Amino acid sequence: LQISSSADGTLRVWNLKTAECSTTFRIAGDTPVNSVTPIPKTDQVIVCNRSNTLYIVNPQGQVVRSMTSGKRGTEGEFIACTVSPRGGWAYAVAEDGVLYCFPLLTGVLENTLPVS
């Protein structure tokens, strides 16, 4: 399976063997999605969109967990996200120039680092 995203907030799950879209869903309305990052050793992905919340999503489009910067407005909006090689951590950078560190087990913000 492969999950793709678009600027209109739509996510699509693709069957790579048949090249057909098996599911289409949205997580946060029409908020543009910046990236979809696979979590190693799972079928889940992290959806990073133009909001202060990251979403861990399964292939059925269900939100398993969410993680937030805790900031309101555009300052805390995430730009990009990545996952540690072993899949234990999510790292996301936001408009405020801060890197947010979340353990995927709990989804609770554990650390921040300035990057600007």
Question: What residue ranges do the domains of the chain occupy?
Answer: 31-114
Q: What is the pLDDT of residue 70?
A: 87
Q: What's the pLDDT score for residue 30?
A: 84
| Tens-binned pLDDT, residue by residue, of the chain (116 aa) | 788 998 899 999 999 999 999 999 998 888 899 999 999 999 999 999 989 999 999 989 999 999 999 888 777 899 999 999 999 999 999 999 999 999 999 999 999 999 97
Q: What's the distance, Cα to Cα, between the start and end of the chain in Å?
A: 36
How many other C-beta atoms lie within 10 A of the C-beta of residue 27? Answer: 20
Alpha carbon 74 to chain centroid, angstroms? 17
The structure's pTM equals 0.89
Domain 31-114 of CATH type 3.40.190.10: no
CB 5 within 8 A of CB 14: no
